[in-house]
Amino acid sequence: MLKTKLIYIILIFTILLSGCQYFNRPQEEEPLARVGEKYLYKKDLKGLISNSADPQDSIQTAENYIDNWIQKQVVLQKAEENLPEYQLDVEKKLQEYRRSLIIHKYETELVRQNLDTIISDKQIKEYYENHKDEFKLTDNIVRVLYVKVRSDAPNQRQLSSFLRSDNPDEQQKLKEYCERYAVNYFLDEDSWLYFKDLLKEIPIETYNQENYLQNNRYIVEKDSMFNYYLYIKGFRIKESTSPLAFEKSRIRDIIINKRKMELVREMKESVLDEARKKNKIERYTES
């Protein structure tokens, strides 16, 4: 009789325990992991593993996910236990972040679909002429012809002559010489370079760049292995107005950015005007 009563008590206890578990988590699915009152279920891994994946890889992926979930939950719950209440109120910040993200995505798509990226040389020049005070040099720049050859390279006297010549035939011969013998060279005399960058290539010692540029046009430097030929076609000193050719790329970016801002501004005004016309907006004043 005592044994029967004991079995009956155990049976009731088991049913009650199962009932408690029923209210804590779904009865139809066993959890994969638990941290405190939080459970991870198999359905939470849906989409994590493709049907074509290797079984062993799938098991490892699932194990890694479960381990990461446990670690995050442990840290999260510890943080919730220890942070003051005002620091736990992140819902408002999340909502604001969501709103900002959606607006940013909309603006980005609007710009992608509608932005005119064609900018003529005339538009660039007009912007430059109207904003010259914005284009002050922060460093010295130069227009140069530059050739670096080995010290035993042939016909260097001709190279020197070609470098300083304005004759188209001799300029072509200079290019051919450089392609054949030069270790390094730069022959685009219409492009501007920072003088400090050029000094990294040529062993020139100067403590006053401005004075050096004002007093030197044709330069030949040598070291134990190479000869360096430099013909300075033009220069601009820092703090002076930067030339248009040096600022073209920057001006293009400025104009593009201004167009983006104008597109977004027009969109905001249009949306606001549309909402007003549809009586979607009301402002209430305090009584």
Task: Identify which of 83, 1, 94, 80 has the alpha carbon closest to the alpha carbon of residue 36.
Answer: 80
Q: Considering the entire predicted model, what is its pTM?
A: 0.66
119-132 tens-digit pLDDT = 999 999 999 999 99
Report the run of H or E that residue 15 belongs to, with start and end.
helix 2-24
pLDDT of residue 260: 96
Q: Domain 137-236 is of which CATH architecture?
A: Roll (3.10)
Distance CA 57, CA 74 (A): 26
Q: What is the chain's percent helix, strand, coil content, to nearest 5?
A: 55, 15, 30
Tokens coding 226 = 């190479």
> E-assigned strands of 151-244?
184-186, 193-194, 218-222, 226-236
Cα 235 to the center of its chain, rounded Å: 33
What is the per-residue pLDDT for 21?
45
The predicted structure's pLDDT at residue 9: 37
Which structure tokens are listed for 45? 């891994």
Per-residue pLDDT for the chain (287 aa), expressed as one digit of tens each? 444 343 333 333 443 444 444 444 445 578 889 998 889 898 888 777 666 667 777 788 888 888 988 998 888 888 888 888 777 778 788 888 999 999 999 999 999 999 999 999 999 999 999 999 999 999 999 999 999 999 999 999 999 999 999 999 999 999 999 999 999 999 999 999 999 999 999 988 888 999 999 999 999 999 999 999 999 999 999 999 999 999 999 999 999 999 999 999 999 999 999 998 988 888 777 65
Q: How many Cβ atoms from other residues are within 10 Å of residue 230's Cβ?
A: 22
The DSSP bridge partners found for residue 218 are: 231
Strand-strand pairing, 31-35 and 38-41: antiparallel
End-to-end CA distance of the chain: 80
Residues of the chain with CATH 3.10.50: 137-236
Cα(115)–Cα(106) distance, integer angstroms: 14
CA distance 136 to 246: 11
Is residue 108 classed as helix, strand or coil in its secondary structure?
helix
